[in-house]
Amino acid sequence: AQKVTQAQTEISVVEKEDVTLDCVYETRDTTYYLFWYKQPPSGELVFLIRRNSFDEQNEISGRYSWNFQKSTSSFNFTITASQVVDSAVYFCALSEVRGTGFQKLVFGTGTRLLVSP
Protein backbone atom coordinates (compact mmCIF):
# COMPACT_ATOMS: atom_id res chain seq x y z
CA ALA A 1 0.00 0.00 0.00
CA GLN A 2 1.03 3.57 -0.59
CA LYS A 3 2.32 5.43 2.43
CA VAL A 4 3.83 8.82 3.19
CA THR A 5 5.76 9.42 6.40
CA GLN A 6 6.58 12.82 7.82
CA ALA A 7 8.43 11.92 10.98
CA GLN A 8 8.86 15.49 12.21
CA THR A 9 5.69 16.48 14.01
CA GLU A 10 6.78 20.00 14.85
CA ILE A 11 9.85 22.10 14.16
CA SER A 12 10.66 25.44 15.76
CA VAL A 13 13.23 27.80 14.30
CA VAL A 14 14.19 31.41 14.62
CA GLU A 15 13.74 33.70 11.67
CA LYS A 16 16.50 33.51 9.03
CA GLU A 17 17.42 29.97 9.93
CA ASP A 18 17.30 27.31 7.23
CA VAL A 19 14.97 24.39 7.86
CA THR A 20 14.41 21.05 6.12
CA LEU A 21 11.16 19.12 6.26
CA ASP A 22 11.49 15.41 5.64
CA CYS A 23 9.19 13.22 3.57
CA VAL A 24 9.62 9.50 2.99
CA TYR A 25 7.23 7.55 0.81
CA GLU A 26 6.42 3.95 -0.06
CA THR A 27 4.97 2.81 -3.34
CA ARG A 28 5.16 -0.13 -5.70
CA ASP A 29 4.31 2.00 -8.71
CA THR A 30 7.07 2.97 -11.11
CA THR A 31 5.18 6.07 -12.17
CA TYR A 32 3.99 8.34 -9.43
CA TYR A 33 3.82 11.97 -8.45
CA LEU A 34 4.81 13.70 -5.25
CA PHE A 35 3.41 16.94 -3.91
CA TRP A 36 3.99 19.44 -1.15
CA TYR A 37 1.21 21.58 0.27
CA LYS A 38 1.28 24.36 2.85
CA GLN A 39 -1.58 24.85 5.30
CA PRO A 40 -1.46 28.22 7.07
CA PRO A 41 -3.69 28.87 10.11
CA SER A 42 -6.50 29.97 7.79
CA GLY A 43 -6.94 26.31 6.83
CA GLU A 44 -6.57 26.27 3.07
CA LEU A 45 -4.04 23.85 1.61
CA VAL A 46 -1.83 25.78 -0.77
CA PHE A 47 -0.15 23.83 -3.54
CA LEU A 48 3.65 24.30 -3.59
CA ILE A 49 5.15 21.76 -5.96
CA ARG A 50 4.51 18.61 -8.00
CA ARG A 51 7.30 16.24 -9.02
CA ASN A 52 7.09 13.10 -11.14
CA SER A 53 9.04 9.93 -10.43
CA PHE A 54 11.19 10.25 -13.54
CA ASP A 55 12.52 13.68 -12.76
CA GLU A 56 15.14 13.59 -10.02
CA GLN A 57 16.47 17.07 -10.59
CA ASN A 58 16.34 19.27 -7.56
CA GLU A 59 14.12 22.29 -7.86
CA ILE A 60 14.49 25.76 -6.45
CA SER A 61 11.82 28.42 -6.25
CA GLY A 62 12.95 31.50 -4.39
CA ARG A 63 13.66 30.49 -0.80
CA TYR A 64 12.13 27.04 -1.35
CA SER A 65 14.00 24.02 -2.65
CA TRP A 66 13.16 20.37 -3.00
CA ASN A 67 15.45 17.37 -2.99
CA PHE A 68 14.01 14.23 -4.60
CA GLN A 69 16.02 11.05 -4.06
CA LYS A 70 14.50 7.91 -5.50
CA SER A 71 17.20 5.72 -3.97
CA THR A 72 16.01 6.63 -0.48
CA SER A 73 12.36 7.26 -1.41
CA SER A 74 12.56 10.76 -0.05
CA PHE A 75 11.29 14.13 -1.19
CA ASN A 76 12.58 16.69 1.27
CA PHE A 77 11.70 20.37 1.38
CA THR A 78 14.08 23.10 2.49
CA ILE A 79 13.21 26.67 3.34
CA THR A 80 16.19 28.99 3.28
CA ALA A 81 16.26 32.07 5.50
CA SER A 82 12.90 31.25 7.07
CA GLN A 83 10.39 33.98 7.78
CA VAL A 84 7.51 34.25 10.23
CA VAL A 85 5.07 33.94 7.31
CA ASP A 86 6.44 30.45 6.69
CA SER A 87 4.77 29.28 9.90
CA ALA A 88 2.26 26.65 8.82
CA VAL A 89 1.68 22.93 8.59
CA TYR A 90 3.35 21.37 5.58
CA PHE A 91 2.02 18.21 3.97
CA CYS A 92 3.75 15.83 1.62
CA ALA A 93 1.51 13.70 -0.60
CA LEU A 94 1.82 10.85 -3.08
CA SER A 95 -0.47 10.33 -6.06
CA GLU A 96 -1.83 6.84 -6.52
CA VAL A 97 -2.55 5.26 -9.88
CA ARG A 98 -6.31 4.81 -10.15
CA GLY A 99 -8.31 3.50 -13.05
CA THR A 100 -11.64 4.94 -12.04
CA GLY A 101 -11.40 8.43 -13.45
CA PHE A 102 -9.88 10.34 -10.59
CA GLN A 103 -6.66 10.88 -8.74
CA LYS A 104 -6.16 9.80 -5.16
CA LEU A 105 -3.63 11.55 -2.95
CA VAL A 106 -2.08 9.83 0.04
CA PHE A 107 -1.05 12.44 2.58
CA GLY A 108 1.48 12.36 5.36
CA THR A 109 0.47 13.55 8.81
CA GLY A 110 2.13 16.92 8.28
CA THR A 111 4.94 18.88 9.92
CA ARG A 112 4.08 22.01 11.87
CA LEU A 113 6.72 24.70 11.34
CA LEU A 114 6.92 27.54 13.83
CA VAL A 115 9.15 30.44 12.88
CA SER A 116 9.68 32.96 15.64
CA PRO A 117 11.00 36.51 15.16
Question: Binding string, 50-89, against other proteins, x = CB under 8 A?
Answer: x-x-------------------------------------
Q: How far apart are CA 60 and CA 18, in angstroms?
A: 14
Query: What type of residue is 2?
Result: Q
Q: How far apart are CA 5 and CA 14, in angstroms?
A: 25
Q: Which of 7, 46, 60, 84 binds other proteins (CB under 8 A)?
A: 46
Nearest residue to 20 via CA among 36, 42, 44: 36
Nearer to other proteins, 18 or 29 (CB): 29
Q: Which of 13, 24, 45, 114 binds other proteins (CB under 8 A)?
A: 45
